[in-house]
Amino acid sequence: MNVFKTILFLSIINFSYSGKILAQSPEVDSLLMVIESASQDSTKVSAYIDLGVELLGSDIHRSIKYLDDAILLASKSNFKKGLALALNVKGRALAQQGNFQEAILVFDLSLKQYQDIKDQTGEANILSNLGSIYFMTGNSSKALELHFQSLKIAEEIGNELRIGTSYNNLGTVYHQNSSTEAEALDSYNKALEVFQKIAYEPGIATAAMNIGEVYFSGMNYESALYYHQLALGYCDGTLDATFPLTQLGEIYGNLGDFQGAFGYHNRALEISERLGAKFELTESLIGYANTQKKQDDIGGAIRTFERAKILAEDIDAKKELEEVFAGLSGLYAIIGDYKSAYENEISSKSVKGEIAKFSTEQMIKQLKFEFELSQKEAEIELLQKDTELKNAAVFNQRIIIFASLVGLLIFVITSFYLFRNNLSKQKANRLLQVQKEEIHAQREKVEFAFDQLKSTQKQLIQAEKMASLGELTAGIAHEIQNPLNFVNNFSEVSNELMDEMNEELDKGAIEEAKAISADIKQNLEKITHHGKRADAIVKGMLAHSRSSSGEKTPTDINALADEYLRLSYHGLRGRDKSFNADFSTDFDPNLPKVNVVPQDIGRVLLNIINNAFQALNNEELSPDNYRDKNDEFKPLVTVSTKNLGDKVEISISDNGPGIPEAIKGKIFQPFFTTKPTGQ
C-alpha cells in the first residue's frame, strides 16, 4: 500500500484560501440562491467556486461548468484572487478526471494570477500541485524541481504546514528509487519534525508511516515498529490506520510473536471491511496471509490469498495480484500441489509482464504527453501574443479618438475662459490698486506684530527655563549629595589608611604597606569616579539652562538601573545610620540596548528609588500600622526590567503601604510632594 501518495493528494486539495472552501461547503440550492440575490461580483465568484467544490465528488462535469462561470466573471470584474482560486479548483477537477495536460495548463494560469497579486502561499500551493501531477505522470525530475520551488517559497514566508508538506512530497519522489532511499528518509524526517512542531496530526501520521515503510523495506524492524506505532497513535480507527496495522502485523510475525501479529492484522481487516475499502482490504489480506505462512498455517494462508485474489481482480490492482499469485505458487509447492503451483507461477509472470508493458506504455505516454503539452503551451503563447497585438491596436485607436475629443473640449473651454477673462480684466485692474495699498498696510502691521511675538516668546522661554531650574535646585542638591558623601567617606578612609601605611613603613613592614597603598589607590579611583559623577550632575543642571536636548546613546538599562539602585541605597545609608531596608533586582537578561540619554533616565530612576526607600523608612508608616502583629515585616525595594518586544518596561516597587487614594490623582503634577518643608 503506497501510503505516501496520501499527502500528495492533500497538497492538491489543500489550497491557501481563507474563505468558505476550507470550511464545510453550503448546499447547492443555497449557493444558487446566493448567486441570484448577490449584488457584488466577488460574492458571486466565491459562490460559483463553492459550487464547484461541492460537486467535485458527485458531478464533475457540472462542477467544471460552475468553475468556468467563476473564471469568466472573475476575469470581467478583475477579481484576481477569485480568478486564481477558481483556476486552482478547476485544475484539481481536471486532475481528478485524469486530464493532466489541461490540469497543468490551468494550474499554470492560476500560478500567474497568484504571482501577480503577490500571494506567495497560493504560489507555493500551485507549485506543489504541479509537482504532484508530474509525479503521477512519471516525470520524477520535474516533480522534484517543482516541490523544491514550493519548499523555497514556503520557507521564505514561514508557512510551516506547507514546508512539512513539501518535505513529505520530496520524500515520496525519492522513495520511488531505491538508490535515493537515504534522501527519502531525510525528507520524511524533516517533514515529521515540522508537523510535530505545529501539532498537525494528519501530517505526523503520514510522515511517520512513510518513515516506518522505509525502515520496514530495509528490515530495520525496531525503527519500523517505533514509527508505525507513532503513526497509529494519530490515525487509529481511520482508513489510514490499515497500513501501519498491516506492517506492524508482518513485523511481529517476522519476530515470531504471532499473537501480537494477528491482533494488528485483525484490526486492519476490521477497519477495511467496515469502511468498504477494497484496496486497503486487499493489502490487509496479503499481510495476513504472509504472517500465516510464517506460522506454517499453509491452509489458512492459501484461503486468505484466494480471498485477496478475488478482490485484486475486482479492482484491477495488478501489483497486488502479482504478489498474491506468487504467494499462492509458493504455498501450493509446499503442500506438493505442483500443478496449482505452476499455474499460479504462470499467472504471476503474466501479471508481471502486464505491469512491465504498462510501464513502457506509461513512458511512451509521458513522452507524448510532454510533447503535446509543449505544443499547447506554444499555441497558447501565440494566441496571447495575437490578442496582445489586437488589444494594442484597439488601444491606439481609442487613444486617437480620446485625444481628439480632449483637444476639442480644451478649445471650447479656452475660448469661453478668454471671453470671460476679457470682461473681468478691466474690473480686476481697478480693484488691484486698492488691494495693493491694503496689503501693504496689513503687511506692515503683521511684521510689527511678528517682531513683538518673537521677542515675547524668547522672554517666556527663558523665564520658563529659569523657573524650572529653580524648582530643580533642591533635587539637584539632594542628588549631588550622594557622590559627595562617597568622596568624603573615601577621603576619610584614605587618610586613616595613610596613617596605617606610615606606621607599617616605620616598622619596616614593606608588604603590609604595599597592601595598604593598593587600598588607598582603589579609594582614590572611587573618589575620582564619584567626583566625575558629581561633575556630570552639575553639567546636567547647567545644560538645562541652555538649548540642548542631550545626546542619546545605546544604553544597557539593566546596568543603569542596578547602578542607581545601589547609589540610592548606599546614599541613604550614608546619611541616616538608622535606615533599615533591603533591595533586590529581577532583570530580563534578553534586554536590548536602548537609545536614551543615560544621565536623564538615571536621574528619574534615582528619584523614584529614593522615594521608595524613604516610604519604607518613614516612622509614621511603621509596619505596625498596616501589618498584622504576628507578621514579620522586612522593608524591600525591588527593581525589575522586562522586554516587551517594541518596548522596555522598568518597574520599581516597594512593600510599603502604597500611595493613599486621596493623592493618587496628583502624583503626575510637577513638583508635587508629601514631604515636609526642608526634606
Cross-strand bridge partners of residue 582: 636
Tell me the CATH number for domain 552-679. Answer: 3.30.565.10
Cell numbers describing residue 350:
503474466
Q: What percent of the chain has pLDDT over 90?
A: 38
Residue type at 481 in one-letter notation? Q
C-alpha of 33 from chain center: 38
Least confident range from 87-91, 119-123, 330-334, 627-631: namely 627-631
Q: What is the pLDDT of residues 15-51, one digit of tens each?
A: 333 233 233 345 688 888 888 888 899 999 999 999 8
What confidence score (pLDDT) does residue 244 get? 94
Around Cβ 608, how many Cβ atoms within 10 Å?
15
d(CA 124, CA 158): 11
Looking at residues 134-148, what average pLDDT do you find? 87
d(CA 194, CA 116): 29
Cross-strand bridge partners of residue 670: none
Query: 169 and 147 in contact (C-beta within 8 Å)?
Result: yes
Fold for 119-226, please state it.
1.25.40
Domain chopping of the chain, boundaries = 17-100, 119-226, 552-679
What confidence score (pLDDT) does residue 624 get? 55
What confidence score (pLDDT) does residue 120 get? 93
Q: What is the pLDDT of residues 147-203, one digit of tens each?
A: 999 999 999 999 999 999 999 999 999 988 888 889 999 999 999 999 999 999 999
Cross-strand bridge partners of residue 583: 637
Cell numbers describing residue 561:
538601573
Q: Is the confidence at residue 559, as pLDDT, over 70? A: yes
Q: Is the confidence at residue 6, as pLDDT, over 80? A: no
d(CA 325, CA 345): 6
Nearest CA to 655 out of 673, 634, 678 is that of 634
What residues contact residue 69 under an 8 Å CB cut-off, 6+ apart?
Answer: 48
The strand order across the sheet containing 636-643 reads 582-586, 636-643, 648-654
d(CA 257, CA 199): 33
d(CA 473, CA 471): 6
